[in-house]
Structure 1
């Protein structure tokens, strides 16, 4: 005697070896013995032979029509499988027919609901219709997914993918059929998602891939300013006093947000007055205005090689930037300085000042550098004023306890990107140009921060202690700069915290109620959000500088390059700000020079593989 039984959702057959009423010992056709529950047995049979039973039952089950059987059985009552089999075959079913009917009922759960051992109930018409529609939808989706996978594996981007490529790259919905197809194709092709989409033509620029990812994460609504009425906010009063001096600015050639300028006015007995003039957007951009809310979202201008995302729209920048040959509103800090460069008097004013010229680094460096400082050549614009500022900057640097090292070998890098061609330029840090600008900005930010603190007016400070830098509404020393307090005020067109501090400073100078207190939500939220955003923006700038270093290596077809060991296997490449680990580097002392071979550059991953070649003489 043999049995047809159900085990773990599948049907099996076996010859009875022992029948213990509640359980049976059975042996399968291939010889495996099992113990099964008597309740699992659906029918007993002698013929056909055990090895042929399942094949014959499945063959009959394949010929059965579930639609016809569903129409044959009653819609409202449960039924036995044997009863339905008898109705269908027109006679008492033999074991093969009975098993085939059970198999069909089991494999058609849309049509028949299982209610117990051998008992079923027909699905309601509406439920069956919905289930069939769902099954058809799944079938169509499976076919669509298979088509997508085949196209992707053939390096063809499906038409449906073109409008959602950014979603698939940066924020995929993993429940969509497109993502599932892309994932399966990546597994089959053994490629990453960006690499496969690049093969399919969806990524035409590795630079845009990285830049658009940043925009997707931090500027989801885009980077234009179409959502605000740009002109309504620029409503500062026009009755500002006119400054007597003419000023000049010092900036990189690409700078449009000119925040600062300087002036020199001779006084009696060899003394003079230094003017530090800061652009004054806080005069016109009112708190909670549309333009202010936009700036509060952006928090800072984002700088990357070849482009930038400004905090303010071009119309506001054009209105407030300290452009040459025009009168510009400014918040000015005047320092009366003796002939030994000691500050004897300080005064702050809100005024309009004539910007005589915008000096640019590329032309200024040719006649204002370490070699020309002591020359008597006066043929260049503002050279005499620049020398005065240089001597003043050196004195201020010494007072801060940060006297410059004439052997300073730290290098700053600038990236010039034009038509996908990159040039990386080096400038030794601490050059006369750098020192003049940085020292005067440090002085202004330190002095105005002190004035705000002494007036008990809230401000946002950048403090540093024990190597940790943080932002706070409480003034505290900045050990790295060697000053008692440091408030960011000098870049109000490029940093939102500077704009907030400038509003407070203007209120102090005018003896008005400041717009913020130390408990103001807008001030505290701006400080917190700025610190987070500043970190993200700085990381992105470094990542894109790394990217353009890789582009330069490809562009110049560099095969080998020299590098300097920082520590262990960490090295810095010559003539670029590219730092990476070299696993093949042998143990060497810091500052040793080595030659490396370029093995592979991947612009999508921003990765570089190199191999140690040899140690070089310093």
Structure 2
């Protein structure tokens, strides 16, 4: 005897070897033996053989008309044997009965299982909806298959033209478009972005990199909602008539945050004014403009473009552009010109007349250490710059003495910076001298303002957002940089405290600190009672955490795009104007181990199997391939161009120190550059100390850089 039975949700047939009570010992066609309970047996039969029954029943089940079967079935619950008589009539055997069970069980849209061999047909309205859904899925599958075939053939389906970037950034993986793209890419053996690039779904790799960033941090676009600039306070005083401020910035800068003025006093003294744009006078905590700024937290910089923190109307209203009275928060320092010591300081909120916006590209070649020493050359604010230059040098030396007190080396000024000029898909990268007198003036006055105002907040008991760098734990341990709400030393800069306050148009932290500073100016000792952020305000801690994470993400994107444009420059050089390959060789210098720095562009690259070379060794590198989609390049060393003279001890460290510190500056300002330089060098010094004690922190010596673009993080 044979039995047809259900086991673990599937149907099987076998030969009965024995029976004990309600249990059968059954041998399956494959030879396996199993124990089957009588209640699981649906059909007992003699012929055909068990294996033949399953084969014949499967074929017969496919011939059963489901619609007719549903019509034959009663509305109430029924046993399959009842329906067998209705469908097959009187002439049916075990094959037909098994086929009916298989068909009923395999058609949940038409019939619902209610128990062993028991079923109930689906209500008519539900059946119609289910069948319509199945038809839709069938049609979608056909459409998906069509998309897939087009993509595999290198053609972009019409329906995907407006969805290409979305499918690669934040896609809905349940859509047929995504499934088709995924399947086509897998069939081609390439990534989805590369397939979309081949099909023309994305115009360039650059478009994809930018779209990914925008999808994560600006999902609703980079535009601003409509918001009006609030009126300035009626009692905001005007600075004295003789205050004629001027700024010093790059030619592309539109958010002009800082300007300077000089007033000559009696007894060989001068009053130096550091004037900072004051958007905090027109933005209040919690208003629409604040919400916008707090959402963005910073201006985003990248070669050839930027995304401002504040709407254009606010930038225009508060930037220190030349030719008018501008609202500013001013720090006045009375300085003894003979000793360059600061005698007194004062902070005021006022309107300041900005006479000129000076630009580095027109002055850097004119204002040099030599021309300042000789008093030669003609340029705007020559006498004022002559006053600021020795003062800035004195500030720098004072900071170096403080660094020495913390066990740090002197800062090493980098000689070269780079400007990126992007025109469509073409990039020009030009060197610019760093460490010029104008750079030093801007940097030192900004550091002075940030340090002085940090102390000003602390003296009034008003919380602010400080950037500190010091050793946590052992005094000789690694220096760690962090944001916090209480005053603490910044050992890398050599100052007792450092509160970001000089870039309120482009950094939210500076805007917050400006609110706090204005409260101190207006209310004095009562400031901590009326300041927007009170002591131990949990919201201030939230600002610090959110800013730190977002600022880091923006900097990562900036570095990624700088690396991209450096690779694009290499490709341009390799192709030449005619599009034919004209060169593959580029000089580079060894920084450390297998890390090399290209000489013509600010590009750092790890080169596997480079070999052992001393720092500073000049090599000729061959660029073998560049992949802009993954932002990767394959290079190899061809030959050694020049090996440095080997020195030893501190002298060698001093010679190679500049190559080790790779600067991470968030924008092109001299202040940001100086700050990043000091922090990077402090990290390097800390690593050297730790290494000497057997505990070097891997990676502390080499910092990622805006102006030396390293491979993007994964």
Output the TM-score relative to the length of structure 2.
Answer: 0.80
Q: Which has the larger radius of gyration?
A: 1
Question: Which digits, 9 at most, give the CA deviation of each residue in 1:447-506, with x for residues without a partner?
Answer: 122122112222221111122111222111100100001111111111122122222222
Residue 597 of structure 2 is aligned to residue 597 of structure 1: no
Shift of 1:197: 1.9
Query: C-alpha distance in 2, partners of 1:596/1:280?
Result: 49
Q: 2: CA distance between counterparts of 1:3 and 1:84?
A: 20
1:422 aligned onto 2:419? no
**1:250 CA drift (Å):** 0.5
Which stretch of the first structure deviates more once superposed, 526-535 or 296-305? 526-535
Give the whole-Å Cα distance in 1 for the aligned partners of 2:383 and 2:178.
65
- Aligned pair in 2 of structure 1 residues 235, 46: CA closer, same or farther (>3 Å)? same
Structure 2 Cα separation of the partners of residues 386 and 61 of structure 1: 96
Post-superposition CA distance 1:62-96 (Å, at most 9, x none): 332122222222211322x3333233332242233
1:615 is matched with 640
- Secondary structure of the residue aligned to 1:426 is strand
- Give the one of 575, 582, 598 matched to 1:573: 598
Deviations 1:321-347 (A, max 9, x none): 111222222222222222322222322
Gap change, CA 1:73 and 1:282, over 3 Å in 2: closer
1:127 Cα shift? 3.5
In the aligned structure 2, how far is the partner of 1:293 from the partner of 1:82? 71
- Cα deviation, 1:157-176, whole Å, max 9, x if unaligned, reads 33333444343222222233
Structure 2 gaps, min length 5: 404-408, 472-478, 575-582, 644-714
Distance of aligned partners of 1:90 and 1:546 in 2 relative to their CA distance in 1, 3 Å threshold: same
Distance (whole Å) between structure 2 residues aligned to residue 236 and residue 308 of structure 1:
31
| Counterpart-to-counterpart distance in 2, 1:122 and 1:236 | 78
Residue aligned with 2:373, SS: coil
Change (3 A) 1:27 1:613: same
Is 1:449 the counterpart of 2:447? The answer is no
Give the match's secondary structure for 1:308: strand
Distance 1:90 1:252, change over 3 A: same
Provide Cα deviations, 1:229-262, integer angstroms capped at 9, x if missing partner: 223x243337522322212110000011111111
Partner of 2:647: none
**CA gap 1:495/1:49 in 2 versus in 1, 3 angstroms:** closer
Provide the residue aligned with 1:288 in structure 2: 286
Number of the residue aligned with 1:186: 185
Aligned length: 613
Retained in 2: the 8 A contact 1:82–1:93? Answer: no
- Distance of 1:462 and 1:311 partners within structure 2: 20
SS at match of 1:401: helix
Q: 539, 552, 564: which is aligned to 2:556?
A: 539
2:206 match:
207
Residue by residue, what CA displacement relative to the aligned partner does 1:157-198 show, whole Å, maximum 9, x if unpaired? 333334443432222222333322222222112222211222
1:550 paired residue number: 567
Q: Partners in 1 of 2:517 and 2:110 — Cα distance?
A: 78
Relative distance call for 1:93 and 1:415 in structure 2 (3 A) is same
CA contact (8 A) 1:462 1:486 kept: yes
- Displacement of 1:52 after TM fit? 4.9
Report if the CA contact (8 A) 1:235-1:285 is conserved.
no
User: Which deviates further from its counterpart, 487-496 or 15-24?
Assistant: 15-24
Compared with structure 1, are the counterparts of its residues 122 and 393 closer, same or farther at alpha carbon in structure 2 (3 Å cutoff)?
A: same
How far residue 600 of structure 1 moved from its aligned partner, in angstroms, is 1.9
- 1:323 paired to 2:324: no
**TM-score, normalization: structure 1?**
0.92
Aligned to 1:395: 394
Aligned residue for 2:523, secondary structure, equals coil
CA contact (8 A) 2:239 2:350 kept: yes
Paired with 1:461 and 1:371, the residues of 2 have a C-alpha distance of 37
Q: 2:418 aligns with which of 405, 413, 428?
A: 413
Residue 261 (structure 2) aligned to one of 252, 260, 263: 263
The answer for the alignment partner of 2:337 in structure 1 is 339
Report whether the alignment pairs 1:73 with 2:70. Answer: no
C-alpha separation in 1, matches of 2:562 and 2:513? 30
Pick the aligned partner of 1:474 from 486, 490, 494.
486
What secondary structure, in the 3-state scheme, does the structure 2 residue paired with 1:556 have? helix
Task: Report how far residue 201 of structure 1 moved.
Answer: 1.8
Change (3 A) 1:363 1:19: same
Distance 1:420 1:237, change over 3 A: farther
- Range 36-45 or range 526-535, more displaced: 36-45
Whether the aligned pair in 1 keeps the contact of 2:392 and 2:444 (CA below 8 Å) is yes
Correspondence 1:26-175 to 2 at 5 A = 26=27, 28=29, 32-37=31-36, 39=38, 40-48=40-48, 52-79=52-79, 81-175=80-174
- Is residue 527 from structure 1 mapped to residue 528 from structure 2 by the alignment? no
Q: CA RMSD in A?
A: 2.6
* C-alpha separation in 1, matches of 2:103 and 2:533: 77
